[in-house]
């Protein structure tokens, strides 16, 4: 990252988006509630469908989330299956807590409920 203010300028970079998703899944876990597929959406995060799909794929591949799967489609966009069953793994929760980029994202946001509509 060339500019230390890049995170402030681009709220849709991978780290911000991954942070929002993992934070929502962590909140669902801690509250003992299921993921709401009407809440965990690209629109609520403020990103495109494609970016949402790619971020979910990366989080799944990295072992940070489970319970949700992505099915490839020959024509058209891939399909997200069982998002209501998504959960952050212990590795995902640890990544959320320990990753320095995640800490920078949190410090920029200060209070997640001010910038992520997933918690409303």
Q: Which of 38, 62, 61, 49 is nearest to 12 (CA)?
A: 49
Strands 79-81 and 69-71: antiparallel
Predicted TM-score (pTM) of this structure: 0.76
* Average per-residue pLDDT for the chain: 82
Q: Write out the chain in H/E/C secondary structure.
A: CCCCCHHHHCCCCHHHHHHHHHHHHHHHHHHCCCCCCCCCCHHHHCCCHHHHHHHHHHHHHCCCEECCEEECCCCCCCEEECHHHCEECHHHHHHHHHCHHHHHHHHHHCCHHHCCHHHC
- pLDDT in the model for residue 98: 80
**Residue ranges of domains in the chain, CATH in brackets:** 6-119 (1.10.10.10)
Q: What is the pLDDT of residues 22-41, one digit of tens each?
A: 999 999 999 999 999 999 99
Q: Which of 45, 79, 77 is nearest to 69 (CA)?
A: 79
Task: Please say if the pLDDT value at position 5 is more than 80.
Answer: no
């Amino acid at each position: 990252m060339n500019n230390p203010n890049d995170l402030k300028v681009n709220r849709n970079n991978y780290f911000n988006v991954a942070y929002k998703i993992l934070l929502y899944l962590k909140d669902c876990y801690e509250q003992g509630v299921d993921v709401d597929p009407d809440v965990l959406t690209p629109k609520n995060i403020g990103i495109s469908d494609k970016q949402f799909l790619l971020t979910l794929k990366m989080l799944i591949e990295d072992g940070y989330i489970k319970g949700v799967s992505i099915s490839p489609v020959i024509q058209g966009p891939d399909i997200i299956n069982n998002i209501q069953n998504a959960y952050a793994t212990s590795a995902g929760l640890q990544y959320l807590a320990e990753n320095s980029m995640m800490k920078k994202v949190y410090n920029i946001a200060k209070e997640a409920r001010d910038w992520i509509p997933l918690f409303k």
